[in-house]
Amino acid sequence: MKRLFFFVLMMVCSVSFADWEIRYVDDDFILYYDKSTIRRDGVIAKMWVMKNYFTTQMTFDKKSYKSAKNFFHYNCKDELIILFSIALFPESSGRGSSVVSVTLKENEMNWNPVIPGSIDEENWKIACGRK
């Protein structure tokens, strides 16, 4: 339990000092990433990504949110991605108390292939240092 607390504390602290850079813009949202949060351990890279939605979004249980911060793990060797943690916020740029916060357990994680030409591929390249 202590390890989980310190891990969550570390993630929150790293996000609070984030330096978000715009990665992608479309009609629904702006996607940001934070290079300062990139950590590499062997073939695994980790990075925070944030979406700011232009209109309020709703969860399945009717909680509204305007932004989402996601913590991804990237397998730099096998071109795989996994969503490790997600937090939804009522205001843009992760402001306000999170309405949903989920960190997956290792047995709940599923690695997925990075789809060529996708936003995930661009984020994979950034996290893995492949431009």
CA distance 98 to 41: 29
Strands 29-33 and 21-25: antiparallel
Tens of pLDDT, residue by residue over 68-125, are 999 999 999 999 999 999 999 999 999 999 999 999 887 778 899 999 999 999 999 9
CATH class of 2-128: mainly beta
Each residue of 8-32: pLDDT tens digit? Answer: 334 444 444 468 999 999 999 999 9
Confidence at 36, pLDDT banded by 50, 70, 90: very high
Residue 96, SS3? coil
- pTM here is 0.80
Which run of H or of E encompasses 113?
strand 112-113
**Residues 76-79: contacts with CB within 8 Å, 24+ apart?**
76/40, 76/43, 76/44, 76/45, 76/124, 76/127, 76/128, 76/129, 76/130, 77/43, 78/43, 78/111, 79/113, 79/114, 79/124
* pLDDT at res. 18: 66
